Structure 1
Amino acid sequence: MEPIYYATISELAPLIRAKQLSPVKLTEAILARIEKLDPTLNSYITVIPEHALQQARQAEAEIMAGKYRGPLHGIPFAPKDIYYTKGVRTTSGSAFLRHFVPNYNATVIKRLEDAGCILTGKLNMNEFAVGETNINTHYGNVRNPWNTDCISGGSSGGSGAAVSAGLSVFSIGTDSAGSIRVPSAFCGVYGLKPTYGRVSLYGIPVLTKSLVGAGPMARGAEDLAIVMHTIAGFDPKDNTSERVPPDNYYSYLGKSITGIRIGLPDYFFKDLDQGVHSHVWRAIRDLEGLGAQFKEVSMPELSMSLVAEVATEGPEAAAYHHEILTTPKKELYQDYTRITLEAGELTTGMQYEKAQKARRVMRNAFYRTFEDVDVVAAPTVPITAPHFTSHPIEQNLDVWMRCTPYTSPADVTGLPSLSFPVGISNGLPVGMQILGKPFSEGRLLQIAYAYQKAVSSNKLMPIQ
């Protein structure tokens, strides 16, 4: 096994269960990794070593007493700093909430801690999840572990960097325009944006509740399945939660993908960087070699996705922040956040309603496509992680304009999408995504796991 801080949940859990690996020793290794690398990467906003070690000692005592809770028992993790954590500050990446300490846990955090997870801290993010770069003037920018001169992607950029570099075994992000999948692609990890309503949003102050999905980021498809098994399911505290029983995600792992029909929408295969183009097509050929069947499909309706995302997310986020935007306190926002929220206030009711109509049209286009194929595949984003520039507002806008046309279709339609690494181009990871029917996360995990097992080079480790 590689260094312990790069091990996956699926590798660590059997050792912990067999009492061959101490949760305390594992947590100490992760904390040491944070202390060594995070002054450079800046993936954490808050680190809580004493709290983590206390939880680790409790987990170890339970396991030694024969009270093993399951594969997440004794596993350290850190969520994006938008999840409420009881007794641990939750900033949402903003100066407004620098000292905010919730008195309850988000449902996702509660479910993970009930499963025996160990909380090591809270991860950096774009302010209020606005942006795709994780440039943050309040808490500092997150740097990409593959090249620290490059961005990590956002808004769950701390999650992408921490998981990639071994500063957290896994993380939980949120995604309303690509905020799980963009940093997953840029940092070379696996990220799943579940079906809308599959994972509870209770205790997450999301700005765009009609778009956002909460989901895991990890170093392998099996790890995504393990975490989804714990966090998925109906929550009566969340009015977006769907009463659909969670799937048995484990049952999909290891199944053959022979005969699975994968559509390739032409919309996603334009204006790709050469490295992205070559690695994604190599992955398509690899999947074809495993028995998948590919078919080119046309979905011109997807050209509306970016406009629909903007005309939905903008006014919903602005409504959430309206009171502050009308006072001098608005100057506490970093510039890009404030400009984005103010632009959202300019969206008219007619524009918003047209955006909802466009979302329905795109959803129906996917449903028609799924009559002929089981899933669709595409590059996660058309580029690898760009270098930081001296113009953060322009860079935020540029990355958003280039990347979200590829990630927003899943958000505006509420469909699940899984990003996984398929290679390295000029020293930086390339990601590919699979989109599926509602509540088909198991099928997406099946395909990603089959690829992961077949292509040994796709377990990527940036820093030793």
Structure 2
Amino acid sequence: MSHDRAPTGFINYPTPKALEVPYKAPPPSTNPVIKGLTLHYLASIVASIPFLQSFLWNNAGFNVLRDKKELNGVEMRYDPAVIPVAQKDEAVVSYTNPTNLRVPPENAAGRFHTIADLHEAYKTGMFTPTDVVQSLLPLICRDAEKRSPHATAFIDTKVELVRIAVEASTRGYKEGKPLGVLDGIPFAVKDEMDINGYKRSAGTKHDYTEGKEVETSWCVKKLEEEGCVLLGKLNMHELGLDTTNNNPHYGTPLNPYNDQYYTGGSSGGAGYAVAQGLVPFAIGSDGGGSIRLPANYCGVYGLKPSHGRVSIAPLGHVANTTVVQGPLASNMADLEISFRVLAQPDPSNPISRQFAPPKPLTGLRKKVLGIYKHWFDRADPLVKEACQKALDHMTSKLGYEIVDLTLPLIHEGQIAHAMTILSECATSHPDVMGLTPANKVLLKVAAQTPARDFLLAQRLRNVLMQHLAYLFQKYPSLIIVTPTAPNAGWPIGKGELSYGVSDGNKQVRNMEYVWLANFTGVPCIQFPVGYVDGVQGKGKVPVGLSGHAEWGSEDLLIEFGYDGEEWLNSGYQGGRLRPEGWVDVLGLKRKD
């Protein structure tokens, strides 16, 4: 196949077109770092003075695209959805048979309980779904008489709704008629989707349902139809606008591996709940790494699907050209099965309904990993070392080959992504009253974006998508690999938990790799590859590796994820670690 010709079977596939631009390291970020009471008072000043907002906008480097000649004459691309079209005879097939689940070995170090473990316990009568959920409720309910630290990961739990759902599952097992392997499995959802009977706060103190009854989002509904038991809505960074999950409104969940570190965000409640063993999987959202960064910092698995594949209809997205929904899970088998249910095409959604139903790969696959060395090497030494060991294992033991490649204007692309998602959020939230001080500043600064610069960002989106299309045609089955984050965790600073923190420098650094998948719409998986010593607190800090694949190639990434899991379970010295406070859900019930 020609490298400059779009393949058949896709809608909106970019014209494959390479652009070679010499690599240039970005200048150091010079955003002011403000926290605590200082942030509290300064935010009100900045939010009321447009001149200061414009100064901060320029200081952040958002004007950098104006002198890029490579963007001259390029058509703007506003929507990154590229769709592998379903054939007429393709239908949704259930892959929820327990015999299809490739769970970790029973003797694997640091093994987490899986969906299959819970299903087997229910099926044999060792426990009922009601037993397990009743053991969990005291740990996750914010209004419990003696509130557990785990409850900080949840914003709300409707106990009556939980009991109705779990009792239906228990009856099904007692009658010998469970709906399938997912029946009775507890899960939870980031508070950015609609659930009938719940408010939607998006991590704020507002109720965006305005007290009205809402219809449950499609992807959540699909899980409930399989018998999954929704435990509630999960904590998140307010409006998803940073990657720490610092939330003064509902409390900040602390990293399960080291409580002096953030969980990462904005799906930090999901990362915490999965890493602590409260649920085998959760649904998060990802507009700038918000599934993958908490999965990385919390040592679990996360999948950012192709843009538009997973539907949350009838609810719409606030940042429609960057945000997607996807799963976080404690192991690859649970990540795979949850994705296959979430990604069922939604007939009511104009993008989701056109996607081919997800299905496992069959036959042999090429194992090609691409690395942009200049970019990869910007990771901190300990992170780079951990990722390189995993890659060495894959090339020496698992049959992968590595190809060197380039990506144009990579640092400008990060700025273009940030400008895009922040502009979308600022347009959706013009009133900043009641928001945290950091977000008051961020949204007011974002609102200063001129149309000229926003449109230049969409030209760069097209350039990047065309270059990726060229690479995917040149190297079939290519997976572009990076560290998930260049840094090992994000330490919590003094005074940050009360009023929040505004640290654009760390935020930019933290997101150095994750933005590409959101801006271009490609799917991306993150999995843990090791642990390093923290700079503060007790406990190790997880490190993750990410893989980006062609639009619609989640199933290729799932196989890559299984190979990553094999490295952690059998290649990494000492094997996988569990957090010190990990909740043994089945053990809890044995003690009752």
TM-score by length of 1: 0.91
SS of 1:432 mapped into structure 2: strand
- Asked if structure 2 preserves the Cα contact closer than 8 Å seen for 1:233 and 1:246, the reply is yes
| Corresponding residue to 1:139 among 236, 250, 273 | 250
Aligned length: 454
Tell me if 1:433 matches 2:539: no
| Alignment map for 1:42-53 (pairs within 5 Å) | 42-53=152-163
For structure 2, list consecutive stretches of 5 or more residues without a partner in the other structure.
1-105, 534-539, 583-592
- For 1:31 and 1:256, the matched residues in 2 are separated by 45
1:461 to 578, 581, 587: 578
Q: How does 1:176-195 map to 2 (within 5 A)?
A: 176-195=287-306
| d(CA) in 1 for partners of 2:312, 2:493 | 34
Contact (CA 8 Å) 2:202, 2:238: kept in 1 or not? yes
Residue matched to 1:158: 269
The DSSP-based 3-state class of the residue aligned with 1:431 is strand
| 1:69 aligns to 2:179 (yes or no) | yes
Alignment check: 8 A CA contact 2:529 2:545 kept: yes
* 1:28, distance to aligned residue in structure 2 (A): 2.6
Other structure's SS at 2:345 match: coil
Give the SS at the match of 2:448.
Answer: coil
Question: Aligned residue for 1:444?
Answer: 557
Q: Tell me if structure 1 keeps the 8 A contact 2:110–2:577.
A: no
* Equivalence for 1:402: 509
CA contact (8 A) 1:305 1:405 kept: no
Kindly indicate whether the alpha-carbon contact (under 8 Å) linking 1:153 and 1:182 is maintained by their aligned counterparts in 2.
Answer: yes
Q: 1:18 to 1:380 in 2, by over 3 A?
A: same
Q: 1:28 is matched with which residue?
A: 134
1:305 pairs with 2:413: yes
Alignment match of 1:372 (pick from 467, 475, 479): 475
Alignment-derived partner of residue 389 in structure 1 = 493
In structure 2, C-alpha distance between the alignment counterparts of 1:182 and 1:106, rounded to whole Å: 24
Find the partner of 1:199 among 297, 310, 324.
310
Question: Structure 1 residues 203, 185: CA separation in 2 closer, same or farther (over 3 Å shift)?
Answer: farther
Match of 2:349 among 238, 248, 272: 238
CA offsets 1:299-335 (integer angstroms, 9 cap, x no match) = 133223211112211221111113xx2xxxx331111
Instruction: Flag the structure with higher helix content.
Output: 1
Tell me how large the CA RMSD over aligned residues is.
2.5
SS at match of 1:150: coil
Question: Could you tell me which amino acid in structure 1 is paired with residue 300 of structure 2?
Answer: V
Which of 205, 209, 219 does residue 95 from structure 1 map onto?
205
Cα separation, 2, equivalents of 1:81 and 1:202: 15
Partner SS for 1:262: strand
Q: Secondary structure at the match of 1:88?
A: coil
Name the counterpart of 1:362: 464
Distance (Å, rounded) in 2 between the aligned partners of 1:425 and 1:285: 18
Identity %: 29
Stretch moving more, 45-54 or 227-236: 45-54
CA distance in 2, matches of 1:453, 1:28: 34
Q: Secondary structure at 2:177's aligned position in 1?
A: coil
Q: Which residue of 2 aligns with 1:129?
A: 240
Question: For the structure 1 residues 205 and 244, does the alpha-carbon distance in structure 2 shift closer, same or farther, using more than 3 Å as the test?
Answer: closer
SS at match of 2:504: helix
Contact 1:41 1:148 in 2 (8 A): no
State which structure, 1 or 2, has the greater radius of gyration over its C-alpha atoms: 2
* More contact order relative to length (CA 8 Å, sep ≥ 6): 2
Equivalent position SS for 1:405: coil
Distance 2:134 2:375 in 1: 43
Structure 2 distance, partners of 1:62, 1:41, is: 29
Match of 1:9? 115
| Distance in 2 (alpha carbons) for counterparts of 1:265 and 1:271 | 10
Indicate the residue corresponding to 1:170 in structure 2: 281
The 8 Å contact of residues 140 and 151 in structure 2, kept in 1 or not, is answered as no
Partner of 1:346 in structure 2?
448
Structure 1 portions without partners, runs of 5+: none
Map of 2:367 onto structure 1: 260
Task: For residue 156 of structure 1, report the CA deviation from its aligned partner.
Answer: 0.3
Q: Cα distance, 1:117 vs. partner?
A: 0.6
Q: 1:397 to 1:10 in 2, by over 3 A?
A: farther
SS state at 2:227 partner: coil
CA shift digits 1:56-113 (9 cap, x unpaired): 1110101222332222111001110111111123221111228955432111111111
Q: For 1:177 and 1:332, how far apart are their aligned partners in 2? A: 24
Shift of 1:203: 4.7
- 1:417 match: 524
Deviation of the 1:260 alpha carbon: 0.7
- Separation in 1 of the partners of 2:566 and 2:453? 46
